[in-house]
Amino acid sequence: MDTEMFHADAEEMGWQDRALCAQTDPEAFFPEKGGSTREAKRVCLTCEVRDECLEYALAHDERFGIWGGLSERERRKVKKRAV
């Protein structure tokens, strides 16, 4: 494995170690269809890595869950506006 590539990936993902969602119930961030996203979004509001999380989700086309305080539908809208 290319150690430079591994280091870059680890650096890119370092924000996840500081994410508040890693310290809470993961099911809140992946609710059942029609389930509430309120709890997850409340956690995201005070998370220091919210921006990095959202950037990651947008860059990697995450289709499920709450990332950076936004649902998949909300992230789609953000992507459309950016085009």
Q: Does the annotation place 44 within a ligand binding site? A: yes
Structure tokens at 73: 């539908």
Please indicate if the annotation marks 50 as binding a ligand.
no
The beta strand positions in 1-83, using DSSP E, are: none
φ/ψ of 67, rounded to 5, equals -130, 125
Rounded distance between C-alpha atoms, residue 52 and residue 67, angstroms: 9
> Does the annotation flag 17 for ligand binding?
no
Name the DSSP letter for residue 71. Answer: -
The response to whether 21 counts as a known ligand-binding position is: yes
Binding site for [4Fe-4S] cluster: which residues?
21, 44, 47, 53
Binding site: which residues?
21, 44, 47, 53
